Amino acid sequence: MTESAQTIVVRHPLVQHKLTLMRRKETPVAEFRRLLKEISMLLAYEATRDLGVTHTEIETPVQKMADAPVLDGKKLVLVGILRAGLGIVDGMLEIVPSARVGHIGMYRNHETLEPVEYFFKVPGKLHDRTVIVCDPMLATGNSAVAAIDRMKRAKPGALKFVCLLACPEGIKTFHDAHPDVPVYTAAVDERLNEKGYIIPGLGDAGDRLFGTR
Ligand code: URA
């Protein structure tokens, strides 16, 4: 794992290998979906490193244990930016199955590249919960910034952003707007092209996840 300011790049070999498989244009939808789920489980592992634990007494088949660690505090909230964010939420739920789930519907106007919100539904009373907002591609950063703006209005205890791929432009836009919110990603690619795609990237994450192209 490499950390720079608030960007945490998860450089684990399994993550990097799976990401390469996802980038290949011949990778079929089912495999792309499975790989996104697997990488998201590994990203969740990093993004939940600082969750609080408390200790409790349990009984193993052999004897009593006085100080067995268990997660402390309110359940985590995973918020997927529709629609590709669902792929990351699915994977993270595999290892945090009791997390609460919210959705933000946001599409990118293909001419202005600006986000337009059309849906917002998240759990209530977020003030003592950690919220992890998920979207695979941190490209222009505009949707992510808008989603975090929206989430901040709900006053969560802590906020994080998890993506699969980022680029320098998206990271700058994101951190300029939200220097307090850490970004977890599997890679930071070279750049954004004139159409708003990450280069070399993996194409349109939503189309590849749902087979809509
Ligand atoms: N969204 C995608 O799905 N892919 C990109 O490269 C950029 C934004």
Q: Confidence class of residue 25 from pLDDT cuts 50, 70 and 90?
A: very high
In a domain, 62, yes or no: no
For the whole prediction, is pTM greater than 0.75?
Answer: yes
In a domain, 66, yes or no: no
The mean-pLDDT minimum among 46-60, 105-119, 182-196 falls in 105-119
Q: 137: number of CA atoms within 13 Å, CB side?
A: 25
Q: Residue 204: which CATH number?
A: 3.40.50.2020
* Tens digits of residue pLDDT in 128-178: 999 999 999 999 999 999 999 999 999 999 999 999 999 999 999 999 999
Query: How far, in Å, from the CA of 205 to the mean position of ligand 1?
Result: 6
Is position 108 annotated as part of the catalytic site? yes
Is position 191 annotated as part of the catalytic site? no
Q: How far is CA 186 from CA 77, 117, 194, in A?
A: 21, 26, 23
In a domain, 153, yes or no: yes
In a domain, 168, yes or no: yes
In a domain, 20, yes or no: yes
Q: What is the mean pLDDT of the chain?
A: 95
Q: Which of 2, 67, 112, 213 is catalytic?
A: 112
In a domain, 56, yes or no: no
Q: Whose CA is nearest to atom 6 of ligand 1?
A: 197
The b/e string for 112-125 (b: 16+ C-beta within 10 A; e otherwise) is eeebeeeebebbee
Asked whether the predicted pLDDT for residue 111 surpasses 90, the reply is no
The mean-pLDDT minimum among 33-37, 56-60, 110-114, 122-126 falls in 110-114
Q: Confidence class of residue 1 from pLDDT cuts 50, 70 and 90?
A: very low
Total domains present in the chain: 1
* Residue 162: closest CA among 189, 143, 144: 144
In a domain, 63, yes or no: no
Is position 112 annotated as part of the catalytic site? yes
Atom of ligand 1 nearest to the CA of 197: 6
* Residue 189: closest CA among 207, 163, 209: 163
Asked whether the predicted pLDDT for residue 108 surpasses 80, the reply is no
Identify which of 81, 86, 106, 197 to mutate to test ligand 1's pocket (most ligand atoms within 8 A of the CB): 197
In a domain, 65, yes or no: no
Cβ of 139 below 6 Å from ligand 1: yes
What's the pLDDT at 2?
47
Quote the domain boundaries for residue 116.
Answer: 7-49+74-210
